[in-house]
Amino acid sequence: MVNLPPHFLDEKKKEVVFHIKGGFPVTMGIPTWMKAFPPEYKGVVVRCEETFYRLREGAGG
């Protein structure tokens, strides 16, 4: 299994929200990570930790 960064599923929006503080090149792993989730889901990156946890709480994760 690939080591995934912190993430949660937003089932209403069909999104996998990843918390990645940096950007490139870490974000290049998203297509590989997305193989672990249903194909209809898309990957979203949130850089701010506070925003990530607020979104996760709102998504019921």
- DSSP output for the chain: ---PPSEEEETTTTEEEEE-SSBTBGGGGHHHHHTTS-TT-EEEEE--HHHHHHHHHHTT-
Q: What is the pLDDT of residue 27?
A: 76
Q: What is the pLDDT of residue 4?
A: 87
Q: What is the pLDDT of residue 2?
A: 60
Q: What is the pLDDT of residue 52?
A: 95
Residues lower than pLDDT 50 in the chain: 1
The structure's pTM equals 0.83
